[in-house]
């Protein structure tokens, strides 16, 4: 599990605003699920050592087998590092009986001022082998597009 997946995007909002959306439960439910999914946070503790549990449900599960069930991905995420407004480091573990999804994936959200906006770079390390790289990177890019729409719409 030494694979690394990445995606980035410039968002027309200051780093503090973007950072706030990474650590707000309702915001995260709104923008984190990639296209074709919806999310529900079941547990929320936004501090170093805390984390959250999210249930992601496929809107059309046909042809999109979930990791936890046919229609869902359940992920437990711990906050390993929080550096406002620069970085959020998450450790994600998928609930699955399939050993191809086992292990802890680290997701680092790096925020850097870019003109009047913020360049957000997401780096996923130790990605489980069962997660297709192209699909995963497209999912991260979709979440970043959702984050941009969400944050830019609240300004």
Sign of CA dihedral 104, 102, 129, 8: negative
- Count helices and strands in the chain by DSSP H and E runs: 3, 7
CB 11 within 8 A of CB 18: yes
Tokens of 52: 């959250």
> Alpha-carbon distance 154 to 136, whole Å?
27
Tokens of 135: 């699909």
Helix 15-22 to helix 133-153 angle, to the nearest 10 degrees? 120
The mean of the pLDDT values for the chain is 94
Q: Is the pLDDT of residue 105 over 80?
A: yes
Q: pLDDT tens, 136-154?
A: 999 999 999 999 999 998 7
Structural domains of the chain, with CATH: 4-34+79-153 (3.30.530.20)
Arithmetic mean of pLDDT, 36-42: 95
pTM value > 0.75: yes
């Amino acid at each position: 599990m030494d694979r690394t997946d990445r995606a980035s995007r410039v968002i027309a909002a200051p780093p503090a605003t973007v950072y706030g959306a990474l650590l707000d439960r309702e915001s995260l439910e709104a923008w984190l699920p990639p296209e074709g999914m919806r999310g529900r946070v079941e547990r929320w503790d936004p501090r170093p050592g805390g984390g959250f549990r999210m249930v992601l449900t496929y809107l059309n599960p046909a042809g999109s087998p979930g990791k936890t069930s046919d229609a869902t991905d359940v992920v437990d995420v711990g906050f390993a590092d929080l550096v406002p407004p620069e970085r959020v480091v998450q450790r994600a573990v998928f609930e699955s009986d399939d050993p191809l999804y086992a292990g802890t994936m680290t997701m680092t959200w790096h925020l850097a001022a870019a003109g009047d906006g913020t360049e957000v770079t997401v780096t996923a390390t130790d990605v489980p082998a069962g997660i297709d790289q192209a699909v995963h990177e497209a999912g991260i890019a979709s979440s970043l597009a959702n984050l941009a729409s969400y944050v830019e719409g609240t300004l």
